[in-house]
Structure 1
Amino acid sequence: MPEADRSASVFFAVALTFVVTMMGTTLPTPLYPIYQDQLGFSQLIITVIFAAYAVGVIGALIVTGSWSDQIGRRPMLLAGLAFSAASACAFLWGGGLAPLLIGRVLSGISAGIFTGTATVAVVELAPAAWAGSATLIATAANMGGLGFGPLFAGVLAQYLPAPLALCFIVDLLLIAFAAVAVMRAPETAHRPERARLRIQSLRVPAPVRGVFVPAAIAGFAGFAVLGLFTAIAPAFMGEILGYSNHALTGAVVFALFIASTLGQTGQSRLPESWRLPVGCAGLIAGIGLVASAILGSSLTLLVCGALVAGVGQGVAFRAGMGAVTAASPAARRGEVASTFFVVLYIAISIPVVGIGVAADTIGLRAAGIGFSIAVAGLAATALVSLVIRRRAIA
């Protein structure tokens, strides 16, 4: 095989490894109603199981955030795949709350390792012909994997036997192929002679806070929406809209993540000063459609809400991340970016648990509407703070 073809095949193989790992983190989404029926879990317990994922992600980001620079990309990618495989095994064990919680934490650790390491590896492995699109491909692999997981698991659960096992068995096979791809890939990191493994500090320098705060608020609102759909959408679909088809549930969540990918890739076409405001406006409009869907028990409105909110989340996330990175001193970008991601993953967990508490006390419909109002309020707060900051600078 010519060298150019070989490098391209390695590049795409590692990108697909990114897809496989992120897919594994969202496989349980359409299965939550089955766990509820078989194990008697309340909606609160389901949201706690989901939120355990964020514990693993945040822990991995803080502890291993800079490790791939010290020990290499391949060892960290293999470690991420090992945690992903262990998560699948925990779900296959199943049968109670403990293995499901363990599985979600392990899944979060795998995602926390891959989020930074795989993005850098994909960019570094890109052959010259693909160098300009490498970041876009890494983004698509990340978000596409997250979206494909619910669709894949939902189709298998709906139309094939062993709904709580089959998707995880297939996932283990895919992880094995991914491990082979990683082992065949060249190491791209320039490792020091003596590795210094340190915990990533979380701080935001004072001069960056004016940019960080609105970006973090908008990012918090957007990731809370991702948490809503990946944890609560199955309950909304079944209890409020009356749809119990697992494949349909997976397709709705898939639509959200694909819309987010489109928002992230398309935001560069907007003037820089408009990107974050447009993202906030998209979040407000999208979550308004979601609230209308809950009030009117409308699948059409829910899908429209997922698409609009997904685009808004993607634009707000990419614009916010870009603004924060640009405003940060070069020597402190790692800690600022890590702080930003910790805020986002808190957003994907704690509000969802709040919905679980509210659903068990005031009902799922009221909880969903209350959540929608809170997210719209956060996005509006970010939008107002951006306007105030722009006027202050002018």
Structure 2
Amino acid sequence: MNGDRPGWHRCLLGGALFAVAMAGTTLPTPLYPLYQEKLGFSELTVTVVYAVYAFGVIGVLLLAGNASDAVGRRPVLLWGLGFAAASAVCFLCATGLGWLFAGRLLSGLSAGLFTGAATAYVMELAPEGGAARATFVATAANMGGLGCGPLLAGLLAQYAPWPLYLPFAVHLVLVAAAALVLLRLPETVRELRPLRTVRPQRPALPPPVRPVFGPAAAASFVGFALFGVFTAVSPAFLAESLDLRDHAVSGLVVALAFFSSTAGQLAAGRVGVARSLPLGCAGLLAGLLLLAGALYADLLVLVVLSALVGGTGQGLAFRGALSAVAGASPGDRRAAVISTLFVVAYAGISVPVIGVGLLTGPLGLEGAGLVFIACMGALVSGAAGYLLRWPVRVKA
């Protein structure tokens, strides 16, 4: 019994490290309108600045997603914290667009390193027999950290001085504390290899995975695209269409989507991962329809409901997608297949968001949002229809 205590203590500390790193990736969200006022750029530029993050994540997943298996978890996570600190410094120095692009790219590199390595580290730090609880700790740390970023920045921007500086100064302090904690935690990889043995991971789809991968990837793409639009565009919509310029409220709306995703992933364990994928698709479709209603009627309550319902749907769908894809994959190809799913998911954060930015000029923010919703609704409806006709069987 006593042996369990330090194990769970270490597991929770690992989860805290994960949350600190992921919070930095969404910290600028409620601050984009302030950067627009300060630097004078368009909504398209906001979406491109935001999407640069996803390109950084995808690059790391493809080139070095398995690096921690060779060189160890702690060195990779220290590099991730270093990139997070460098990103915060870029935002503190942001006197032009170049600093914002650099900050977002470095943030993406940090998230790319943490996504796989921190998930594995949290699970390996747990006591024996605690895999299910450790998986939830990792999930909650990931999505909870993403939700805490805009919430923290929004509160500081609204109620404290120096709104474009204090959030990143606070995050720098948190990153430094996280690094000190990480240095006191043990390494969990037993057989370390030199960095030169790491090889880029190529996307892979073995034949048994292909029938499952299509609907799983579509649901993942739509879920992450919904998060992307909430994170990149919702502050501008709240300010321009609802005349709501409270940064704390703006940050809270975005945070609710991520917190709801954590709840959805937890609920997937109760409803069963086989049913969570179609239920998640239904939740995503409902969230999109609520967002369409919010854009059409300019109602804050519908924006909040969209975040809650769509976030829950994303959590259900993504946990179901991961389980379905992992269960259908051969053991020796599983990591490559899961990396491919993450690449598709992070493409959902970038490509549709840039599309919304491009359409904002000719159609306006509401019109661009409705086009986005129509496209994503068609995609997730197709996935749901496929799943109703050919249900996915998830292997234990």
Question: Which one is further off, 206-215 or 27-36?
Answer: 206-215
State the 1:241 CA deviation: 1.5
State the 1:207 CA deviation: 2.5
Per-residue Cα deviation, 1:245-264 (whole angstroms, up to 9, x for no partner):
00000000111111111001
> Aligned with 1:201: secondary structure?
coil
Question: Which one is further off, 294-303 or 366-375?
Answer: 366-375
CA distance in 2, matches of 1:128, 1:207: 31
Per-residue Cα deviation, 1:197-230 (whole angstroms, up to 9, x for no partner):
1111112112211100010011111110000101
Match of 1:148 in 2: 148
CA distance in 1, matches of 2:141, 2:216: 23
Match of 1:83 in 2: 83
* AA partner of residue 100 (structure 1): L
Per-residue Cα deviation, 1:268-293 (whole angstroms, up to 9, x for no partner):
22244422111111111111011101
* AA partner of residue 247 (structure 2): H
Matches within 5 A, 1:88-99: 88-99=88-99
CA distance in 2, matches of 1:93, 1:271: 47
* AA partner of residue 16 (structure 2): L
* AA partner of residue 166 (structure 1): L
> Aligned with 1:348: secondary structure?
helix
State whether residues 69 and 190 of structure 1, in contact with CA within 8 Å, keep that contact through their aligned partners in structure 2.
Answer: no
The CA RMSD over aligned residues, in Å, is: 1.5
Match of 2:237 in 1: 236
Matched, 1:120 2:123: no
Matches within 5 A, 1:23-34: 23-34=23-34
Match of 1:56 in 2: 56
Identical counterparts, % of pairs: 50
* AA partner of residue 227 (structure 2): L
Distance change >3 Å, CA 356–CA 169, structure 1 → 2 = same
Matched, 1:222 2:216: no
Matches within 5 A, 1:130-169: 131-169=131-169
Matched, 1:284 2:288: no
State whether residues 144 and 261 of structure 1, in contact with CA within 8 Å, keep that contact through their aligned partners in structure 2.
Answer: yes
Q: TM-score, normalised by structure 1?
A: 0.96
Matches within 5 A, 1:1-394: 4-128=4-128, 131-194=131-194, 196-390=197-391
CA distance in 2, matches of 1:193, 1:95: 42
> Aligned with 1:363: secondary structure?
helix
> Aligned with 2:202: secondary structure?
coil
Distance change >3 Å, CA 245–CA 207, structure 1 → 2 = same
State the 1:385 CA deviation: 1.7
CA distance in 1, matches of 2:274, 2:169: 47
CA distance in 1, matches of 2:231, 2:38: 20
Distance change >3 Å, CA 194–CA 37, structure 1 → 2 = closer
State the 1:3 CA deviation: 6.0
CA distance in 2, matches of 1:239, 1:193: 53
State the 1:131 CA deviation: 4.6
CA distance in 2, matches of 1:337, 1:330: 11
Q: TM-score, normalised by structure 2?
A: 0.96
Distance change >3 Å, CA 317–CA 4, structure 1 → 2 = closer
Per-residue Cα deviation, 1:65-97 (whole angstroms, up to 9, x for no partner):
111110000000100000000000111110111
CA distance in 1, matches of 2:198, 2:137: 29
* AA partner of residue 159 (structure 1): Y
State the 1:132 CA deviation: 3.8
* AA partner of residue 198 (structure 1): R
* AA partner of residue 13 (structure 1): L
